[in-house]
Amino acid sequence: MLFLLLMMMIFMFFPYLFLPILLFLAIGFLFLLPYVFLFNSFYNVVTIPWQILKIAVDKRVRKNHSLEHATINVLEERYGRSLQIGGLAYSNGFSLSGPELPPPYEVMSAVREGHFRMINGEKDLAAHPRCGTSIAAANFLFSLAFIIVLFFSRHLTLLNVIAAFLLANILAKPFGRLLQKLFTTYSIVDDVVIQDIYIQPSNIGFSFIFMPNPNRSYFIKTYQS
């Protein structure tokens, strides 16, 4: 404790003494950064397809995922702007949360409207540009592009990282929508029955409110006949 206090005092009164240390750490970080990207790239290339495959084989999750997107799309149409709302799909429904999530009755109205419109042909409501699938697609493409660039250039540099980043950003949006359409959503929701909406507590795991949580969180329960 005394050592940390002494170091803080030295840093406050003689900050220039730490410049060589900071410079050394910065150079070390830049040197190791490509290797961190390399490890992360191999990890993403293996794990992301597996995660998407797990969703793809469960049609109940895919249908609820479609309904989750439709609900957010309807709410954003009503408000005329993007809302800070996220969601997760399960086999028995889906959850929505975020600081801009409207009251339960309004969300339930959007769920029913999105469901009705999808049944009547508006299949595009099943996709959403900020879906986690699109983020996963961007990460996968970046990782794959980095490995390909590295393979052909045979040099591990920051230039490789930048080239992979630019390539992934160009392809991420169309590839993400394609993944949503083919693997993580299913727009035929005629057999989905919307049951009820439940308010999820924000202090899960605590017997009292530890700190104020601005996020609302709901679970919309569904049944598929």
pLDDT digits (tens, 9 = 90+) for 78-90: 999 999 998 999 9
pLDDT, tens digit (0-9, with 9 covering 90-100), for 6-29: 666 666 665 655 566 666 556 655
Instruction: Give per-residue pLDDT as tens, 141-158.
Output: 888 877 777 777 766 666
Q: Are 52 and 184 in contact (CB under 8 A)?
A: yes
Q: Report which residue type is found at 106.
A: E
Dist CA 78 CA 148 (whole Å): 43
Closest to 72 in 3D by CA, of 50, 101, 104, 47: 101
Q: For residues 116 and 45, what is the distance between their CA atoms, to the nearest angstrom?
A: 37
AA identity, residue 27: I
The confidence score (pLDDT) of residue 25 equals 59
Report the C-alpha gap between 89 and 185 in whole angstroms: 10
Torsion of CA 90, 91, 92, 94, to 10 degrees: 20
User: Please, which pLDDT band fits residue 166 given cuts at 50, 70 and 90?
Assistant: confident
Separation of alpha carbons 43 and 98, rounded Å: 29
Q: Binning pLDDT at 50, 70 and 90, where does residue 212 land?
A: very low
Q: Determine the residue type at 188.
A: I
Domain ranges of the chain: 38-201+215-224
Max CA-CA distance within the chain?
Answer: 71
Q: Which residue has better confidence, 161 or 185?
A: 185
pTM over 0.85: no
Greater confidence (13 vs 204) lies with: 13
CA angle 34, 37, 41 (to 5 degrees): 140
pLDDT tier at 2 (50, 70, 90 boundaries)? low
Comparing C-alpha atoms, which of 44, 41, 49 is closest to residue 161?
41
How far is it, in rounded angstroms, from Cα 120 to Cα 53? 28
User: How many angstroms separate the CA atoms of 112 and 21, rounded?
Assistant: 60
> ∠ CA 146-151-154 to the nearest 5 degrees?
105
* 170 Rama class: left (phi>0) / alpha (psi -120 to 50) / beta: alpha
- 92 within 8 A of 148, measured Cβ to Cβ: no
